[in-house]
Amino acid sequence: MLPRLYAILDRSFFSDSELLCSTAEELAAGGVSLLQYRDKSGNARQMLEQARELKRRLGDSVKLIMNDRADLCLAAGFDGVHVGQEDLSPEGVRKVIGESLWLGVSTHNSEQVKEADKTSADYIAIGPVFATLSKAHPDPVIDLKGVREARALTRKPLVAIGGINRANCRSVIEAGADSVAVISDLMREPRKSAQDFLRILG
């Protein structure tokens, strides 16, 4: 169900909307088929404008996931929502988005994986696998051992996130993840980077 590579576009990496959208287009050209739009600090109107522009440019070639905001997911015509531990509950989100859209949940330890496994989430994200710079206050690193433990606790598709790059992504899949979520290592030369990842991940 999940592609091996799950690209995350974090608004904080981009100086303007044009750069954000052109990067998304480059990632799609490089083979990315699942992309999450994440903006932890923007206002709703600006986020909706960017989300709609991403949808307009990428069309149906890429599955688009909205971070946190179920309302903006619907308004922008996205394909799903991803929520963290502090956001609306998975079942609360499911009531908003209905049965057909994708729902992903972030987890950071075995207990959270067990809880997420009981929900209607379509996939579970686990991390940070390695040290990461994309969050101001990251959760403790779980390492490959944490990925293996998460794999043993759920049959839902598992996305590993946190500090994953071309050098270590293969080991994460071998530890049991179905997909790797990547932010930083896709930013320089996005098309080539995506192609590299997909080749390594096979």
**Known catalytic membership, residue 106:** yes
Asked if 196 contacts 165 with a C-beta cutoff of 8 angstroms, the reply is no
**Known catalytic membership, residue 38:** yes
**Known catalytic membership, residue 100:** no
The packing angle between helices 190-201 and 17-29, to 10°, is 40
Q: CA-CA distance, 57 to 51, in Å (whole number)? A: 10
Q: Which of 38, 69, 94, 156 is catalytic?
A: 38
In degrees rounded to 5, what are phi and psi of residue 23? -65, -40
Q: Which of 94, 106, 134, 193 is catalytic?
A: 106
Q: CA-CA distance, 2 to 123, in Å (whole number)? A: 8
Q: CA-CA distance, 61 to 63, in Å (whole number)? A: 7
Assign 3-class secondary structure to 17-54: HHHHHHHHHHHHHCCCCEEEEECCCCCHHHHHHHHHHH
Query: Which three-class secondary structure state does DSSP give residue 149?
Result: helix
Q: Which of 11, 52, 55, 135 is catalytic?
A: 135
Catalytic residues: 38, 106, 135
